[in-house]
Amino acid sequence: MDELKERAIWLDQMDSLASYRREFYIHDQVIYLDGNSLGLLSKRAETAVWDVMEMWKAYGIDGWNEGKHPWFYLSEKLGSMMAPIIGAKSEEVIVTGSTTINLHQLLSTFYQPTPGKNKILADELNFPSDLYAISSHLQLRGYSENNRILVKSNDGLTIDEEEMISQMADDVALVVLPSVLYRSGQLLNMQKLTEAAHQRGILIGFDLAHSIGAVPHSLSEWNVDFAFWCNYKYLNGGPGAVAGLYINEQHFDRNPGLVGWFSSNKERQFDLATTMNKGDGAGAYQVGTPHVLSVAPLIGSLSMYEEIGIERIREKSLKQTQLFIDLVNEKLLHYGFSFGNLLEDDKRGGHISLIHQDALRIAKALKSHRVIPDFRPPHLIRMAPSPLYTSYEDIWTAVSRLQTIMVTKGYETFSSVREVIT
């Protein structure tokens, strides 16, 4: 047996998280490596959705304050469950909105341009939705695209933190960056960037979509001003799951830019007064009625994170991506692949990126071999082992199926026309 297969089997035998795999719906022979786009359904998440449906059936309107998971305080309760995952205090976190809408909320709150300080600094590799949101806020305040400064990447894959810091000029009001870059998986040093921004009197926030649930954070300790993320990737909250938002407690005295009756102090919300009594913490950043059915899966999936703790998940994730790297080095590099991700532990998130000129056709061939990656144009294949449901042997098998595809050139039979969703 090859040495790396032996290592994979041994790692599975030693794995204290191995039993969680049985909690997920995994199709026979399928190796699902797309948990960085949409995590799989767990039985706990499914049960939680049925629990909420049963509450609706049993209680009707009274489900807001009765039953197993009363809906009125559910967003706050889930915020407390998420707080340890990002190193925040319970009241600093709320489960609400969607990733992009939460960024809009945060920009409307934290972007307070003045004549001498009115630029927003981001990077050209940031997820497009974030960049579009930034542009729309500049437009709303009467500024042009010239006020959106995008730090360039030297290689199209990574961002140089020193270059980023050097662009934190006096006229920059706000910095918005990803924690982990969605293509290359580069993990930025959030603490260093936050310190640099604050030394220059700039506020800073992070999009945690590609780190939450895979990488620990210490947002409160690092003094990050705000953060936002989705819950459908590593956290397995389901398609369109309600998202999350973090506000450093130092900013609790600010008024959220966008408010509605759910921004109220909950004890006073049903006073239905004409002037709002603002809630105390991150809860004030909600706007309207929570999407209870889209938040329900998180009740189940976050319970696993509570049991395990994010540190153990990161430990396994790093071992899994390292095994992936070793397998690629041994079996794939001579077929025209190179790494799109950085190889150091402290610079990579939870996924591996492989670059190949024929990446689209190879990704399609992988799917036909029941390995599920995703493809990002022009030449990137992303593959994310999930510490909760991917075994080490799965990683070995995925790479050996990929090797077979390359040896037989099986990918050449697939079309190089891209589908709408990849």
Ligand X SMILES: Cc1ncc(COP(=O)(O)O)c(C=O)c1O
Spell out, one character per residue from 69 to 98, where the chain touches ligand X: x when CB under 6 A holds, - when not.
-----------------------------x
Closest CA to 103 of 214, 216, 208: 208
Distances (CA, A) of 112 to 86, 152, 281: 26, 25, 20
User: What's the min distance (Å) between Cβ of 207 and ligand X?
Assistant: 5
Site membership for ligand X, residue 100 (CB under 6 A): yes
Q: Which of 76, 123, 207, 374 binds ligand X (CB under 6 A)?
A: 207
Instruction: Point out which span in 143-151, 207-215, 359-367, 405-413 binds ligand X (CB under 6 A).
Output: 207-215
SS3 382: strand
**Angle 310-331/392-408 helices, nearest 10 degrees?**
30
C-alpha 227/C-alpha 231 separation (Å) is 13
- If binding means CB under 6 A, how many residues of this protein chain bind ligand X? 12
53: Cβ contacts below 8 Å, ≥ 6 apart: 293
Site membership for ligand X, residue 112 (CB under 6 A): no
User: What's the min distance (Å) between Cβ of 422 and ligand X?
Assistant: 12
Site for ligand X in 217-276 (CB under 6 A): 230
Site membership for ligand X, residue 397 (CB under 6 A): no
- Is 127 noted as a catalytic residue in this protein? yes
Strand order from edge to edge, sheet including 172-178? 93-95, 244-247, 226-229, 203-207, 172-178, 119-123, 148-151
Residue 245 DSSP symbol: E
User: What's the min distance (Å) between Cβ of 99 and ligand X?
Assistant: 3
Residue pair 92/248 in contact (Cβ under 8 Å)? The answer is: yes
Q: For 165, what's the count of Cα atoms within 13 Å in the CB-facing half-sphere?
A: 15
Report the DSSP pairing between strands 244-247 and 226-229.
Answer: antiparallel
Closest CA to 253 of 229, 288, 279, 290: 279
Instruction: Point out which span in 52-60, 126-134, 310-318, 388-396 binds ligand X (CB under 6 A).
Output: 126-134
Closest CA to 85 of 269, 216, 179, 192: 216
- Is 207 noted as a catalytic residue in this protein? yes
Distances (CA, A) of 317 to 132, 238, 334: 31, 21, 26
Site membership for ligand X, residue 422 (CB under 6 A): no
| Cα–Cα–Cα angle for 176, 182, 186, rounded to 5 degrees | 85
Q: Looking at 183, 233, 316, 348, which residue is catalytic?
A: 233
Instruction: Point out which span in 137-145, 206-214, 274-282, 333-341 binds ligand X (CB under 6 A).
Output: 206-214
Site membership for ligand X, residue 129 (CB under 6 A): yes
User: What's the min distance (Å) between Cβ of 187 and ligand X?
Assistant: 13
Q: Looking at 382, 389, 392, 394, which residue is catalytic?
A: 382
Site membership for ligand X, residue 363 (CB under 6 A): no
Residue pair 161/123 in contact (Cβ under 8 Å)? The answer is: no
Nearer residue to ligand X within complex by CB, 229 or 389: 229
Q: Encoding tokens for residue 45?
A: 């998440």
Q: Looking at 20, 72, 226, 232, which residue is catalytic?
A: 232
Site membership for ligand X, residue 178 (CB under 6 A): yes
User: What's the min distance (Å) between Cβ of 403 and ligand X?
Assistant: 29
User: What's the min distance (Å) between Cβ of 29 and ligand X?
Assistant: 27
User: What's the min distance (Å) between Cβ of 420 and ligand X?
Assistant: 15
Q: Which of 80, 96, 99, 263 binds ligand X (CB under 6 A)?
A: 99
User: What's the min distance (Å) between Cβ of 208 and ligand X?
Assistant: 8
- Is 382 noted as a catalytic residue in this protein? yes
Site for ligand X in 305-334 (CB under 6 A): none
Q: Encoding tokens for residue 415?
A: 């079309």
Instruction: Point out which span in 64-72, 205-213, 320-328, 379-387 binds ligand X (CB under 6 A).
Output: 205-213
221: Cβ contacts below 8 Å, ≥ 6 apart: 87
Nearer residue to ligand X within complex by CB, 47 or 129: 129
C-alpha 167/C-alpha 164 separation (Å) is 5
SS3 389: coil
Binding residues vs ligand X (CB under 6 A): 98-100, 127, 129-130, 178, 182, 207, 209-210, 230
Return the active site residues.
127, 207, 232-233, 382
